[in-house]
Amino acid sequence: MSISFYYAPMSTSSITEAVLAELSVDYQGVELDIDAGDTRTEAFLKLNPNGRVPVIVHEGVIIWESVAITLYLGETFGTEKALFPESGPSRGEAMKWVVWSNINLADAAGKLAAELPPDAPGAVQQGSQDFVEIEQRRPQALLKARQTLHHCFEILNGALADRHFLLNDYSLVDTHVFVLVAWALSMELELSAFPNIDAWFARCAQRPVLAAMMSDGQ
């Protein structure tokens, strides 16, 4: 049975879109407009009570959370395509980076996006449930998010010192982390202090799927 994929442009669901494209897996896409409230309709909340994309439905089973989706698609379709490790220590390493990137890097990037002035590049807009009212914003929260993101980049830069990709060869782990790093960079962060990430980012951007995503501005 084919996969249904609920997504919104320029959102966390870009990770899943890139993973599906790398795997060449067929799916039926359902586009939602976050600003128009499509993620908070009764029908969508039945699929994901968190009111968030991405969501996939595979063989009648609903899966949300981008980490769960990447790991599920990786183990289901990725091993035979050499894009995800077989069960074993390498699989553990894959899980480490995918989970870390959401819990640490994406969390910090999300906090930064919510604290930036609404007209700044990458800032959360009023239609999103992550929008923070202007009067509730605190300069310390903005600073803390920037510091945490910087620390995440230090960790990633260190990990890439002796390898071209996170698991040595290109894998869905790079796809997942790349989309999150691209999101962070859309907030006018730059990589001059992180040469290993910079070089890895350029290598990943040569993948046709990621090159297309970058040129579409997703």
Ligand X SMILES: N[C@@H](CCC(=O)N[C@@H](CS)C(=O)NCC(=O)O)C(=O)O
Footprint on this chain of ligand X (rule: CB under 6 A): 11-12, 34, 39-40, 51-54, 65-66, 102, 128-130
Would strands 55-58 and 3-7 be described as parallel, antiparallel, or unpaired? Answer: antiparallel
**Shortest spacing between CB 136 and ligand X, in angstroms:** 16
**Shortest spacing between CB 2 and ligand X, in angstroms:** 21
State which residue, 91 or 127, has the beta carbon closest to ligand X.
127
State which residue, 130 or 169, has the beta carbon closest to ligand X.
130
State which residue, 104 or 128, has the beta carbon closest to ligand X.
128
**Shortest spacing between CB 28 and ligand X, in angstroms:** 19
- Angstrom distances, CA of residue 7 to CA of 19, 41, 61, 123: 13, 14, 17, 19
* Token pair of 62 as six digits: 């609903």
**Shortest spacing between CB 66 and ligand X, in angstroms:** 4
**Shortest spacing between CB 11 and ligand X, in angstroms:** 4
State which residue, 36 or 202, has the beta carbon closest to ligand X.
36
**7: nearest Cα among 47, 23, 25:** 47
State which residue, 7 or 153, has the beta carbon closest to ligand X.
7
Cα angle: 53, vertex 145, 172; to 5 degrees: 45
State which residue, 54 or 85, has the beta carbon closest to ligand X.
54
**28: nearest Cα among 66, 65, 46, 1:** 1
CA pair distance 205, 167, nearest whole angstrom: 17
- Give the DSSP per-residue string, 54-100: -EEEETTEEEESHHHHHHHHIIIIITTTTSSPPTTHHHHHHHHHHHH
Task: Tell me the chain's radius of gyration from C-alpha atoms.
Answer: 17
**Shortest spacing between CB 25 and ligand X, in angstroms:** 18
